[in-house]
């Protein structure tokens, strides 16, 4: 009679060894998923390692310090934010600006605590965090400049407008959904109107 218990080699398929780049990407992906649920400073490195199926020591082989890991996660979150707020490049310029503004406001609304941590550096006291914020603002600024054909001398006006829009979004999203003074569509219109007013004044 054949043994009904499967051979361990058949039960556990051989895992493919990940390259260093793949392993780092895997670990950052796990970190990204977790910072959606909790403040980044509350992430457990033991939990990250366990979920990845590696030891804590091996995790620190890829990221020498906890801060290095946090910064990698924050940088990945910044890149994701730029991807998820990208407008249709073939749409008219005004439509692109309205779209990217709406998407950014909605992103901040969904991830308000994380965005506050990103902008104000809560939980990660490292000057490199500001580089992530700068990259997001610079990418968003470039989209508006390109969409509207804004002269280079007014680029800083657009960049400053993004800081205004972020602040409006953070204030708006702090109010419970059913009690907000304006719907997101009106908030977008007000922010876009402020952009055009600033561009007219600075011109």
Question: Taking the alpha carbons of 8, 13, 17, 22 in that order, is the dihedral positive or negative?
Answer: negative
3-state secondary structure of 64: coil
Question: H helices of the chain, where?
Answer: 8-11, 20-35, 45-52, 56-62, 66-84, 93-110, 112-120, 128-148, 155-173, 184-202
pLDDT of the residue at 186: 98
Residue 20 has pLDDT above 90, yes or no: no
Would you kindly state where each structural domain of the chain is located, as residue ranges? 74-202
Q: What is the pLDDT of residues 53-100, one digit of tens each?
A: 999 999 999 999 888 888 888 888 888 889 999 999 999 999 999 999
Q: Per-residue pLDDT averaged across 20-47, rounded? A: 84
Nearest to 147 by CA among 81, 195, 202: 195
pTM for this structure?
0.78
Q: What is the pLDDT of residues 102-156, one digit of tens each?
A: 999 999 998 887 777 666 655 556 667 778 778 888 999 999 999 999 999 999 9
Pairwise CA distance, residues 30 & 73, whole Å? 9
Question: Class of the 74-202 domain?
Answer: mainly alpha
């Amino acid at each position: 009679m054949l043994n009904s218990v499967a051979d361990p080699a058949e039960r556990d398929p051989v895992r493919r060894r990940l390259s260093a780049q793949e392993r780092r990407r895997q670990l950052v992906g796990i970190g990204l998923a977790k910072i959606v649920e909790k403040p980044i400073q509350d992430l457990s490195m033991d939990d990250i390692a366990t979920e990845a199926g590696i030891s804590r020591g091996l995790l620190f082989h890829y990221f020498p310090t906890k801060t290095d890991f946090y910064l990698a996660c924050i940088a990945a979150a910044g890149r994701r934010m730029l991807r998820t707020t990208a407008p249709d490049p073939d749409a008219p310029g005004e439509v692109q600006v309205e779209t990217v503004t709406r998407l950014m406001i909605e992103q901040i609304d969904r991830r308000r605590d994380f965005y506050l941590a990103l902008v104000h550096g809560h939980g990660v006291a490292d000057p490199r965090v500001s580089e992530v914020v700068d990259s997001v603002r610079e990418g968003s600024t470039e989209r508006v400049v390109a969409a509207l054909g804004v002269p280079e001398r007014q680029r800083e006006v657009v960049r400053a407008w993004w800081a205004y829009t972020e602040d409006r979004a953070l204030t708006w999203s702090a109010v419970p959904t059913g009690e907000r003074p304006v719907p997101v569509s009106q908030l977008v219109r007000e922010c876009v109107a402020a952009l055009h007013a600033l561009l007219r004044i600075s011109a």
